């Protein structure tokens, strides 16, 4: 088959259709030769045409082919030295996925041919495999990037008004009875009117999707009949995963994804992506050769002094080398693509500390952050860090630079400890409730730097947090050795499901306590999909491999009363700017006497003194929030004012009588939240200096009248 080929351009990288043909460009600094392979069908065992790329500009190999277009399947074969001890693992017998592929057709079919070495050979990865991997590896797809966005623009919802909802594309709708069965678990299902209506009524402002970049399932999981459900094993940083598509695999998944974003935006909901730029799905030196490893191993990965091996700050076997310009470019190009072409509103960076490492140490002024900070596109969206990795010094909560928000793991731990009755300082509880100024007030950061959460995809659900003392991960096939063993959970008196009505009542109340604490805290609340109606994973705190009803939301069995409470709670937060402050409470420290905008009290109605904050056994306190002390202006320039609030927290197991403060804080108060009941409404009224009984393990919120 003869095909006309032209020189092409080194930019942009990837496969770019211009209306007349396709430009192919791939970075491979140490390669000696690169071949473009074209396929007619994704199931073909062999390429229909192999073209040697002759042009090379600044380590980029490029070619232009007229008269081909969208839907064209392709891959690469890259020649060079196979010298693992020198960091080179070139093997032209392996078909390679373009790192810049905008769509990927099919999924990986595991076979020994996918490995650059002979599996089982006594020399292990130093041996050389001559098996062709083309029959088993998915192919890149040329796409037509045009799409009718119908005027869609970024919503740019301010962080202080944001409420984030973490969800899995498939798990959210896989069992939804009101969504057509043929689209459940797909991008189209998230765009369905039933889904949109639910999210709007709940009141969330942004949905944060677990990884949707094209990923692979580990071989050992597939052999056990399991899968990489969460998707933290990326192999294509530009391609929406085909497994969540419902209308086709030849680029249609890109259109479907864009339509999902457009419909969510139309409903006033932002889309944030959980992204995994710290490693790839190729694993350690014993992993397969699928893309980066075969294209130019030494130019993509962080290698040890013995270049045969990989630095592993991620627990996956490898770490991408964000210190190298070509890797930085890959990450930045990917982020800009998702913002500009896919209209994404922000990103949550998995194991972000790994991206910040200069040599071995985490450095918040690393080139990665410098490049993002100066980028006029990326710096304007929501940037959220998971501020840790598994390496030494990797726990970096509070250490990320201005412009970044962080998953606040200290908030999660503190609030769990407080409500389970563990020894913890009241001082830390106060810090976490008020935005964690001890972590974020430096570097001109604001309370919105703190992404507050009680639960996340990794760990117990909210229901399981109050129902299990121990993890129950037997279904994962690792003898219950996986997952965190220190969950700061409490089963309320029985392990797992029980018919004991008293225990079940306590569990529901503890859920209301935790949710109320979350949504009344300063910072940005993040709710995990299903926690609002009592979703359980049956005690599994590491359901990364469970693509089944362990992980999927049970829409039929949802707790409607808890769901109603959560609706009301979110609406209450959004109605009152007191709980959504842009600025810090004034005064350092925030704990003290006579502060204008906030004051802390013991149950006897006395303002807290410094010595009170050091008690690790105290479980009860109250906080006064002055609605006239917000010190911010609205969009139209008027001063923001609100009701004042008096919130009483009692994590003690017995009732406590609280005395209300004097008239200067408020003459009359109406009870608006009582976590002993499942309805948020105006109840009894109280006057200053009167007493109120706060039942054990509960919160009562009073609002000035």
Q: pLDDT (tens digit, 9 = 90+) per residue, 200-213? A: 999 999 999 999 99
- Res 589: pLDDT: 41
Is residue 355 in some structural domain?
A: no
The CATH number of residue 667's host domain is: 2.60.40.1180
Lowest pLDDT segment from 357-366, 510-519, 649-658: 357-366
Q: Which domain holds residue 77?
A: 14-142
Q: Average per-residue pLDDT in the chain? A: 94
Is residue 46 in some structural domain?
A: yes
Q: Among the three residues 142, 159, 175, which one is the final residue of a domain in this structure?
A: 142
Please determine, for residue 358, whether its predicted confidence score (pLDDT) is greater than 80: no
Helices (H), 521-642: 560-575
Cβ count within 10 A of residue 550: 18
Reported confidence tier of residue 527, pLDDT bands at 50, 70, 90: very high
Is residue 25 in some structural domain?
A: yes
pTM over 0.85: yes
Instruction: Give the count of domains, the chain.
Output: 2
Q: Show which residues are catalytic.
A: 350, 386
**Matching residue, tokens 């290698």:** 303
Q: For 331-381, list the strands marked E by DSSP.
A: 346-349, 357-358, 361-362
The DSSP line for 154-219 is -----GGG--EEEE-HHHHHTT-TTS-GGGTTSHHHHTSHHHHHHHHHHT-SEEEESP-EEE---H
Task: Judge contact between 73 and 17, C-beta under 8 A.
Answer: no
Q: Among the three residues 127, 142, 157, which one is the final residue of a domain in this structure?
A: 142
Is residue 645 in some structural domain?
A: yes
CA 239 from chain center: how many Å? 17
Is residue 71 in some structural domain?
A: yes
Task: Judge contact between 25 and 11, C-beta under 8 A.
Answer: yes
Going from the C-alpha of 76 to that of each of 23, 49, 438, the distances in angstroms are: 14, 11, 51
Is residue 129 in some structural domain?
A: yes
Average pLDDT, integer, range 66-70: 96
- Res 590: pLDDT: 44
Is residue 478 in some structural domain?
A: no
Is residue 267 in some structural domain?
A: no
Q: Among the three residues 142, 165, 182, which one is the final residue of a domain in this structure?
A: 142
The CATH number of residue 127's host domain is: 2.60.40.10
Average pLDDT, integer, range 633-637: 86
Please determine, for residue 268, whether its predicted confidence score (pLDDT) is greater than 70: yes
Please determine, for residue 530, whether its predicted confidence score (pLDDT) is greater than 70: yes
């Amino acid at each position: 088959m003869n095909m006309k080929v032209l020189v092409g351009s080194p930019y942009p990288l990837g496969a770019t259709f211009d209306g007349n043909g396709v430009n192919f460009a791939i970075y491979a600094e140490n390669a000696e030769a690169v071949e473009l392979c074209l396929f007619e069908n994704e199931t073909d065992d062999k390429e229909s045409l192999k073209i040697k790329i002759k042009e090379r500009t600044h380590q980029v190999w490029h070619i232009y082919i007229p008269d081909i277009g969208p839907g064209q399947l392709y891959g690469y074969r890259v020649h060079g030295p196979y010298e693992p001890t020198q960091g080179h693992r070139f093997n032209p017998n392996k078909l390679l996925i373009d790192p810049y592929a905008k769509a990927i057709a099919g999924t990986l079919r595991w076979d020994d041919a996918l490995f650059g070495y002979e599996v089982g050979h006594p020399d292990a990865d130093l041996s050389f495999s001559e098996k062709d991997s083309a029959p088993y590896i998915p192919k890149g797809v040329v796409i037509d990037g045009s799409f009718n966005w119908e005027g869609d623009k970024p919503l740019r919802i301010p962080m202080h008004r944001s409420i984030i909802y973490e969800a899995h594309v498939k798990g959210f709708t896989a069992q939804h009875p009101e969504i057509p069965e043929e689209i459940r678990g797909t991008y189209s299902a998230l765009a369905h009117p039933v889904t949109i209506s639910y999210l709007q009524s709940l009141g969330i402002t942004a949905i944060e999707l677990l990884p949707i970049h094209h990923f692979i399932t580990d071989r050992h999981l597939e052999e056990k009949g399991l899968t990489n459900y969460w998707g933290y094993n990326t192999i294509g940083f530009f391609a929406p995963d085909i497994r969540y598509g419902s209308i086709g695999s030849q680029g249609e998944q890109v259109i479907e994804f864009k339509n999902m974003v457009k419909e969510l935006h139309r409903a006033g909901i932002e889309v944030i992506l959980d992204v995994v730029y710290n490693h790839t799905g190729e694993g350690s030196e014993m992993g397969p050769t699928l893309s980066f490893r075969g294209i130019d191993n030494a130019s993509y990965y962080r290698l040890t002094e013995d270049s045969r091996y990989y630095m592993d700050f991620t627990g996956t076997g490898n770490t991408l080398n964000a210190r190298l310009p070509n890797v930085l470019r890959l990450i930045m190009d990917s982020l800009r693509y998702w913002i500009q072409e896919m209209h994404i509103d922000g990103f949550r960076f998995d194991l972000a500390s790994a991206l910040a490492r200069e040599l071995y140490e985490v450095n918040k002024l690393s080139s990665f952050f410098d490049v993002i900070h100066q980028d006029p596109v990326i710096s304007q969206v929501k940037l959220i860090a998971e501020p840790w990795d598994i390496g030494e010094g990797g726990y970096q909560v509070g250490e990320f630079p201005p412009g970044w928000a962080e998953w606040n793991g200290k908030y999660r731990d503190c609030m769990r400890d407080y409500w389970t009755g563990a020894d913890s300082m009241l001082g830390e509880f106060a810090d976490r409730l008020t935005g964690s100024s001890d972590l974020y007030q430096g570097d001109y950061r604001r309370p919105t730097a703190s992404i507050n959460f009680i639960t996340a995809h990794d760990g117990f659900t909210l229901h399981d947090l109050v129902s299990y003392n121990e993890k129950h991960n037997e279904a994962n096939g690792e003898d219950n050795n996986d997952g965190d063993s220190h969950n700061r959970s409490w089963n309320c008196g029985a392990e797992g499901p029980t018919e004991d009505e008293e225990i079940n009542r306590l569990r529901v109340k503890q859920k209301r306590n935790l949710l109320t604490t979350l949504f009344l805290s300063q910072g940005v609340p993040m709710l995990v999909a299903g926690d609002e109606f009592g979703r359980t994973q049956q005690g599994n705190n590491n359901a990364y491999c469970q693509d089944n009803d362990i992980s999927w939301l049970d829409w039929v069995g949802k707790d409607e009363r808890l769901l109603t409470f959560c609706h009301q709670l979110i609406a209450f937060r959004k109605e009152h700017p007191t709980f959504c402050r842009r600025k810090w409470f004034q005064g350092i420290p925030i704990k003290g006497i006579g502060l204008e905008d906030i004051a802390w009290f013991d149950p006897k109605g006395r303002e807290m003194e410094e010595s009170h904050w050091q008690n690790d056994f105290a479980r009860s306190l109250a906080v006064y929030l002055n609605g006239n002390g917000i010190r911010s202006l609205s969009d139209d320039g008027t001063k923001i004012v609100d009701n004042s609030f008096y919130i009483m927290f009692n994590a003690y197991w017995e009732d406590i009588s609280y005395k209300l403060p004097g008239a200067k804080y408020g003459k009359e108060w109406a009870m608006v939240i009582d976590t002993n009941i499942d309805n948020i409404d105006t109840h009894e009224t109280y006057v200053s200096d009167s007493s109120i009984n706060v039942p054990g393990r509960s919160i009562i919120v009073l609002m000035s009248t």
